């Protein structure tokens, strides 16, 4: 079934997202340390978009729709929620990498930029927590 790639998202025994701060990040992606990147070098999150089918599955469901899909099991509905929020989760993952790399290089964000980054990261985490509440 098409959900297999999204079922690899780390989940609790109830089937909800295990790590709300990194909802899409797999074991392989987590094992690669964040390093200072050269100019125009894609990050591991961007490479993940190129290397796997999740973005294509997300695009497929954008065309198909995320509702009125009869015959799905409860776990499939949870997976569908993850797919529906794929873009938000991926954007949060990329922002986590940006902030981590800036910190690693000793770059201090000015107050408005720091607040914007914090807001984006918090919104991503709350979106992951929201998926847990919605599926409970």
In 2-71, which residue ranges form alpha helices assigned H by DSSP? 4-7, 27-31, 44-51, 54-64
Indicate the DSSP class of residue 105. Answer: T
Per-position b or e across 49-72, b if 16+ CB within 10 A of its CB: beeeebeebbeebeeeeeeeeeee
Q: Going residue by residue through the chain, which has 136 residues, state the pLDDT in tens, using 9 for 90 and above.
A: 556 656 566 677 766 676 666 667 665 566 666 677 677 777 777 777 776 788 888 888 899 888 878 888 887 888 888 889 888 888 888 888 889 889 988 999 999 999 999 999 898 888 777 655 554 5
Residue 45 and residue 93 in contact, taking contact as beta carbons nearer than 8 Å = yes
How many angstroms separate the Cα of 33 from the Cα of each of 39, 47, 54, 78, 102?
Answer: 18, 14, 22, 29, 14
pTM of the model: 0.70
Residue 28: count other Cβ atoms within 10 Å of its Cβ. 10
């Amino acid at each position: 079934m098409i959900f297999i790639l999204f079922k690899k998202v780390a989940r609790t025994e109830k089937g909800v997202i295990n790590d709300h701060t990194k909802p899409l990040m797999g074991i392989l992606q987590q094992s690669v340390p964040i390093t200072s990147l050269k100019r125009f070098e894609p990050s591991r999150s961007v490479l993940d978009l190129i290397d796997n089918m999740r973005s294509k599955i997300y695009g497929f469901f954008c065309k198909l729709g995320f509702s009125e899909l009869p015959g799905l099991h409860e776990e499939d509905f949870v997976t569908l929620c993850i797919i529906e929020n794929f873009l938000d989760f991926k954007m949060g993952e990329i922002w986590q990498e940006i902030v981590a790399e800036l910190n690693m290089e000793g770059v201090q964000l000015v107050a408005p930029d720091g607040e914007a980054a914090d807001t984006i990261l918090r919104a991503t985490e709350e979106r992951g927590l929201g998926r847990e509440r919605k599926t409970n």
